[in-house]
Amino acid sequence: ISNSLFGMGNPLLDICAIVDKDFLDKYTLKPNDQILAEDKHKELFEEIVKKFKVEYHAGGATQNSIKIAQWMIQQPHKVGTFFGCIGKDKFGEILKEKAKEAHIDAHYYEQDEEPTGTCAACITADNRSLVANLAAANCYKKEKHLDLEENWQLVEKAKVYYIAGFFLTVSLESILKVAKHASENNKLFCLNLSAPFICQFFKDNLMQVMPYVDVLFGNETEATAFAKEQEFETEDTKEIAKKAQALPKVNSKRHRIVVLTQGKDETVIASSDKVKTFPVLKIDPKDIVDTNGAGDAFVGGFLSELVQEKPLDQCVKAAHYAANVIIRRAGCTFPEKPDFK
């Protein structure tokens, strides 16, 4: 049904390029990381365009996942709704165009104080280092957009909600309003840990939202950072999943599900009573174009089945399928149709 999946986050234009180790070192970037741009990264955005062959792709973690879910579902169009903030500029127009092409129902808050946000995806082999310059994305305002009646009606239409942890740096009050709505109406609220820095420097915001989280996503690096901050005293992914699953929860009608990916290693899922593992689809390393968007695609695949009320193992199967498709392509892009059964 249209608008049954709702996402809210940072709409960014990805600037993707295969770079070299010198470039990473110059800007003190880890090969595989996600960070927010600081002053020392200002030149990076100019240099990457001058020095390397860049491709522009519509990005932003949550928006990617909503698009992938829509792609997996195909019909009807506009199952996925997306809210976020952009600038009144060329990059903003591209994002609107790409959202239309992906058949998602994007409602952007448009402002002219800041330009549309960008994300430099610095690719080396099968690693990707992401540097996000949020700009306009950081200007999302609850009272200027989410609270407006025509927008809030779209929130109420949804049954599954997904927000990447990245948005915790932008508008905690918007997230809490959506999370509480989901909880009070026994709908599904999903959150992603998104990055180690979210678990470390925004853990107060993260833990304010956690009691409303029905499905928590993360990868092994984020899980380790989360466990450390929460003093779980373990680095074992299965143990971390179990402990995160048991954290306090407001809506007791639903048990939390924790879904942790580990790259090429098996995916770990903790539900009310047990921890299960699911192997990912095998892929020849030489078929991997870039892993940018793999985690977003995993979530998108998972959500596409969740919104259709399919069982957990079917959600995971779809998640693994979508991630496998995306890593064979540049950026978070996909072929015309999925061949998922």
For the annotated catalytic residues, the residue numbers are: 296
Distance between CA atoms of residues 66 and 162, nearest Å: 8
Query: What number of other Cβ atoms are within 10 A of residue 75's Cβ?
Result: 7
Helices 312-326 and 294-306: crossing angle, nearest 10°? 150
Distance between CA atoms of residues 95 and 332, nearest Å: 13
**DSSP structure string for 4-64:** -EEEE---EEEEEEE--HHHHHHTT--SSEEEE--GGGHHHHHHHHHHS--EEEEE-HHHH
**DSSP structure string for 223-248:** HHHHHHHTT-----HHHHHHHHHTS-
String of b and e for 290-302 (b: at least 16 CB within 10 Å)? bbbbbbbbbbbbb
